[in-house]
Homo-oligomer: A and B are copies of this chain.
Amino acid sequence: MDEKVLLGHGSGGTMMRRIIDEVFFDAYGGEELAAGNDAADLPLPAEGERLAYSTDSFVVTPHFFPGGDIGHLAVCGTVNDVATSGAAPKYLSCGFILEEGFPMEDLKRICQSMADVAKEAGVRIVTGDTKVVNRGHGDGVYINTSGVGFIPAGRVLGGQYCKPGDKVLVSGTLGDHGITIMSCREELSFRADLKSDAAPLNHLIAEVLEAAPHTRCFRDPTRGGLASTLNELAEQSGVDMVVDEMNVPVKDAVRGACEMLGYDVFQVANEGKMVCVVPAEESELALEAMRANEYGTDAAIIGEVLPCPDDRSPRVSIRTGFGSMRILDMLVGEQLPRIC
């Protein structure tokens, strides 16, 4: 096998065939990829279920970082997006845009990482595509994944269903992914204490839904962080939200880094956290279910949903440690480009 990716690996000919067989198939090939047709042919579930469908591209730099890599992220990100609908994620597609000269060893490592986390999540990569761009028109590797899952009959989740009185939960500490990537790029000294939280959360979501079946919605606070996620939900439902800063779990190292760098931890990206809004009477059950999962040990109830007055648009506020209130705005520009 060639040591580096060449333009010919994207040709549609025998070189492309070789990279598919020796890299992609070797890492995560199954019967659908083996069939070698242009579309995977897959069974559908029982009548009454619905389709959940999502996509994400991944352009993170560096490609490898403490706690994960771009391949791990590409599987987790789409698994989590599909799972937020209450679906069991089932199938993934995977499109690579490789830059000429990218080391084949790195590509293999990325594919293995995708295979491992796909297995953990219980999803299969069933269809794919490979393009190679000439040197200077990429950054080694970009990955797009899309994902399909099936939503059980009668299950309806969505950001539009939050109601005053509901509790807001988060499955763990904020900011780990964003600050880890940042520290890798800048080679900052606090780096040793940190790793990305990237993780597949579909099992955690299923367990929360088992414990708290009236959960309104899940959303993963990736780009734009908790601030963007809560503002989106508040707007979709036409409600206010208030978050108690003291209850929001943040690691000391992340808090320190944010203070030093001038970041608002509420706007920093997470890749292994889930926000969920649950009716008050089921919120403790949801919390217990989260904490029982390996990726939810630091879960907390961080706030609640309030009615939004008629005379203004929905608002998310934070009650600070000093008891004062401040408005939690959505991120406006770009804080940390290419975080995922």
- Known contacts A15-B333, A158-B37, A160-B35: does B85 contact A129 (CB below 8 Å)? no
CB of A317 within 8 Å of the partner chain: no
A186-224, CB < 8 A from B: 217, 219-220, 222-224
CA separation between A6 and B334, bound complex, in Å? 9
- What residues of chain B lie closer than 8 Å to A97, measured between beta carbons? 57, 59, 97, 142, 144
Closest to A13 in B: B331
- Known contacts A36-B159, A44-B49, A50-B41: does B331 contact A12 (CB below 8 Å)? yes
Residues A39 and B84 in contact, CB atoms below 8 Å apart: yes
Q: Smallest CB–CB gap between A138 and chain B, Å?
A: 6
- Known contacts A129-B55, A148-B51, A158-B37: does B15 contact A332 (CB below 8 Å)? yes
Residues A94 and B13 in contact, CB atoms below 8 Å apart: no
CB of A269 within 8 Å of the partner chain: yes
Q: Is the interface of A mostly helix, strand, loop or mixed?
A: mixed
In the complex, how many residues of chain A place their beta carbon closer than 8 angstroms to a beta carbon of chain B? Answer: 91
Task: List 15 extra interface pairs beyond A37-B219, A53-B127, CB under 8 A.
Answer: A10-B334, A11-B223, A11-B331, A11-B335, A13-B224, A13-B267, A13-B334, A35-B160, A38-B80, A42-B50, A59-B97, A127-B146, A132-B337, A142-B142, A144-B146
Q: Smallest CB–CB gap between A330 and chain B, Å?
A: 5
- What residues of chain B lie closer than 8 Å to A225, measured between beta carbons? 12
CB of A232 within 8 Å of the partner chain: yes
Closest to A128 in B: B55
CB of A126 within 8 Å of the partner chain: yes
CA separation between A267 and B54, bound complex, in Å? 34
Residues A158 and B41 in contact, CB atoms below 8 Å apart: yes
Residues A12 and B50 in contact, CB atoms below 8 Å apart: no
Provide a sorted-by-A list of 19 A–B residue pairs whose CB atoms are within 8 angstroms. Answer: A11-B223, A11-B337, A12-B228, A15-B334, A17-B330, A37-B217, A38-B80, A38-B219, A39-B81, A41-B51, A42-B52, A43-B50, A43-B51, A46-B47, A53-B148, A127-B146, A132-B337, A133-B139, A136-B136
**Would you give the 0/1 interface string for A15-59, flagging 1 where the beta carbon is closer than 8 Å to chain B?**
111000000000000000001111111111111011111111111
